[in-house]
Amino acid sequence: MSDAKLVLLLKICILIGIILIFIGIYLHNFNDAIEKMGVTGIVISAMCVAFGMILSLPTKMYLTFILVTREAQANREP
C-alpha cells in the first residue's frame, strides 16, 4: 500500500472515530430513548465513545509518525 493511500485510510479512521465519539455524546446527553433504556442505554453510548477513541487516538499517533518521517526524509534530500 502506498503512503498516500495509507494516509488517506488513517484520516478516514480518525474521522469515523470522531463521529463515533460525537454520536456517543449525543446519545448520552440529548436522546431520551437511551435514557429510558437505563443501564443498556448507558452501555450503548459508552461503547460508541470507546470505539471512537480506539479508532481515533492511536491512528493520530501513527499518522503523526508517518508525516514526521516523510518530512525528515524530504529535508535530507537536496
What pLDDT is attached to residue 26?
Answer: 93
**Sole residue written with cell 502506498:** 2
Which of 31, 19, 3, 30 minimizes the C-alpha distance to 55? 19
Question: Quick check: helix, strand or coil at residue 38?
Answer: coil
> Does 78 have pLDDT greater than 80?
no
What pLDDT is attached to residue 16?
Answer: 94
Greater confidence (9 vs 2) lies with 9
The predicted model gives 7-26 an average pLDDT of: 91
Q: How far is CA 26 from the centre of its chain?
A: 16
What pLDDT is attached to residue 10?
Answer: 84
